[in-house]
Amino acid sequence: MAARVVPATGLAGEGASVAKAFRNGLKGITGHLEPAERELLRGLLDDVISMLEPAEQANEDPLAALIGLDLNVTEPGDRALKRLLPNVMKDDGDASLEFRQLTERSLRETKIGALRAAALDLDRDELVLTEAGAGHWSMALNDVRLVLAERLDIQDEEDANHVHQMQDWSQAEDVESYLALVYNFTTWLQESLMQAMLETLERP
């Protein structure tokens, strides 16, 4: 698991180390993102949405589609997609596939719903999140990070620490370093959101 992220930086990098993207206040959870940050996020959200959108199927049984059943579903070949839609049993591929037929379609729809909701929020001038909206944002950012992490081949804590070293946008020289910076940006964003969301939880 990834620990709390320090130092915190937005795209702006230097001078922004104490900046918070999200904070919990009187109006609820509010966020501040620069236009370039919004643009970047929009692209990432769209990418993950297109990964999750199921291919149009010819001759699909409309009743099966209606109840969310998908008998043609297979275990994803793409590692990132498999991380988003994992097997439900560790050592039983058949049972996992059977479960997938019953649940994967609605799981994809749940994820796409959260990603679309976050993308819509980005079109507003002011980012003020409802409780449900904050939930969508946290799920969407998490799925974006899971996909980026697979592209960066983050397999263990050591890999994660290595990627975390990349904090300076002037270091972005190739696709991998750029992806690492984008990953760190989304991590910082999600951590900031989680701290705000944890504050809103009712304490006994």
8 Å CB contact between 18 and 8: yes
Q: Distances from the Cα of 74 to the Cαs of 21, 51, 99, in angstroms?
A: 38, 15, 11
Convert residues 95-124 into a mask of x (bound to another protein by CB under 8 A) and - (unbound). Answer: ---xx--xx--xx--xx-------------
Which residue among 160, 169, 172, 176 contacts another protein (CB under 8 A)? 160
Which residue number, 17 or 161, has a Cβ lying nearer to another protein? 161
Find the part of the chain contacting another protein (CB under 8 A) among 2-10, 21-29, 35-43, 115-123. Answer: 2-10
Minimum CB distance to another protein, residue 58 (Å): 27
Report the residue number, 20 or 145, with the smaller CB distance to another protein: 145
Sheet bearing 127-129, strands edge to edge: 22-25, 28-31, 127-129
Please, which residue, 127 or 147, has the CB nearer to another protein?
A: 147
DSSP 3-state of 64: helix
Considering only 138, 182, 184, 185, the residue that binds another protein (CB under 8 A) is: 138
Asked whether 127 and 30 are in contact (CB, 8 A), the reply is yes
For 84-92, which contacts have Cβ atoms below 8 Å and span 24 or more sequence positions? Answer: 84/48, 84/51, 84/52, 84/111, 84/143, 84/146, 84/147
**Binder to another protein among 84, 112, 180, 181 (CB under 8 A)?**
84
Do 194 and 138 form a contact (C-beta atoms < 8 A)? Answer: yes
Contact between 7 and another protein by CB under 8 A: the answer reads: no
Q: Which residues would be at the binding site for another protein (CB under 8 A)? A: 1-5, 79, 82-90, 98-99, 102-103, 106-107, 110-111, 135, 138-139, 142-143, 145-146, 149, 154-157, 159-160, 187, 190-191, 194-195, 197-198, 201, 203-204
